[in-house]
Amino acid sequence: MEEQRAGPVSEEEVVAPAISVSKATRRFGDLVAVDELSFKVHPGEVFGLLGPNGAGKTTAIHLITGLLRRHGGEVRVLGSDPEKDSRRVRQQIGYVPQETNVYLDLSATDNLWHHAALYCQELSVVGNRIRDLLHLVDLWERRKDAVGTFSGGMKRRLALARALLHDPDLILFDEPTLGVDVQARHVLWEHVRSQQAAGKTFVVSTNDMAEADALCDRVLIIDHGREIALDSPERLKAELGRDIVTLRTSPPVQDPERLFAGLGVQAVSRSEPDQLRLEVRDAESIVGALFSRVATDHRLESVRIARPTLDDVFLHYTGRALRE
């Protein structure tokens, strides 16, 4: 039988959010890493924390796990305060940190047994669960090998299996595919989706737009510890209400505002001397007119029409690209 993707519980259905963060603040000296951040994560959704390096994503995750104390605001995880009721919260969350922290000299199975001793309440079922999870993440054949011989993707899959071992309701996944090759990242995304279908809630921290786009039901874009935008990737992109047309001409267009006047171009920027980036409401309807105006005095070297990405969303709100 085909597995059904459970998907997130809608806002109306939600009685208690899996995570509720309200005006959470965390400082490191003078640096405000998380600045009055507020958001809710619904049970069963994959929620993305998207932002550039140093935006405060990992700090936000550490506030959720209770690894860091907040300097203001409130955090509730599955109904409990991670600072005051840390043991209960830790029992219900699985955490895959940014740096894969598995024992390289132990086998995959031994790594999971080590985790079981620390986290699992019911030890009698652990053996079967380890077998199932190693099958799930396709590591059963390598279960006896030292983890030091694994690829980056395999280590991440093992870390995910480990985080799932004690059957937590909520999994916090910090930079899931950092340093992982393209093929392996798709495998990891599949594992996240299959676990979501099984009812797990995920919070994924990433600075990878494609990852957030492919994986997350909703994303919170943060920068300098503050909320920039919060919605589903589709809505965030749709809210921009424009397509991106990138033209490369020879010679470069000198006065694009005059050349494209009256065509509904909303913004023009120059990413390279001979390359123009135009934001238009509906690229398909004006592309013919654009070409004919350019062709009058220039040779068109290349043209690309793109729907907005989350990077464009970030650019729109902050004036700079996500990876800058």
169 makes contact with another protein (CB under 8 A):
no
Interacting residue with another protein among 24, 35, 50, 65 (CB under 8 A): 65
The token duo for 196 is 């979501």
72 makes contact with another protein (CB under 8 A):
no
Nearest to another protein of 69, 320 (CB atom): 69
Nearest to another protein of 61, 259 (CB atom): 61
Q: How far is the CB of 242 from another protein (least distance, A)?
A: 43
Interacting residue with another protein among 39, 95, 189, 202 (CB under 8 A): 95
67 makes contact with another protein (CB under 8 A):
yes
DSSP category for residue 180:
-
Max alpha carbon distance in the chain (Å)? 78
Element (H, E) at 33: strand 31-41
Residues 6+ apart with CB under 8 A from 151: 181, 184
291 makes contact with another protein (CB under 8 A):
no
Q: How many CB atoms lie within 10 A of CB 136?
A: 17
143 makes contact with another protein (CB under 8 A):
no
Interacting residue with another protein among 81, 110, 227, 231 (CB under 8 A): 110
Q: How far is the CB of 167 from another protein (least distance, A)?
A: 13
Nearest to another protein of 101, 302 (CB atom): 101
Q: How far is the CB of 93 from another protein (least distance, A)?
A: 8
Strands 46-50 and 201-206: parallel
Task: Give the number of C-alpha atoms closer than 13 A to the C-alpha of residue 46, restricted to the C-beta side.
Answer: 28
Residue 253 main-chain phi, psi, to 5 deg: -70, 125
97 makes contact with another protein (CB under 8 A):
yes
Measure the N-to-C terminal CA separation of the chain; round to a whole number of Å.
Answer: 45
Interacting residue with another protein among 7, 16, 79, 105 (CB under 8 A): 105
123 makes contact with another protein (CB under 8 A):
yes
Interacting residue with another protein among 21, 102, 180, 221 (CB under 8 A): 102
125 makes contact with another protein (CB under 8 A):
no
238 makes contact with another protein (CB under 8 A):
no
Cα separations in angstroms, 215 against 138, 194, 195, 301, 303: 20, 11, 12, 35, 29
CA distance 223 to 226: 5
Q: How far is the CB of 192 from another protein (least distance, A)?
A: 20
Residues 6+ apart with CB under 8 A from 313: 221, 229, 236, 237, 239, 240
Nearest to another protein of 37, 265 (CB atom): 37
118 makes contact with another protein (CB under 8 A):
yes
Q: How far is the CB of 215 from another protein (least distance, A)?
A: 23
30 makes contact with another protein (CB under 8 A):
no
CA distance 178 to 79: 31
Amino acid letter, 7:
G
Q: Give the bridge partners for 222, in sequence order.
A: 227
Q: Which chain residues interact with another protein by CB under 8 A? A: 62, 65-69, 83, 86-88, 90-91, 93, 95, 97, 99, 101-106, 110, 113-119, 123
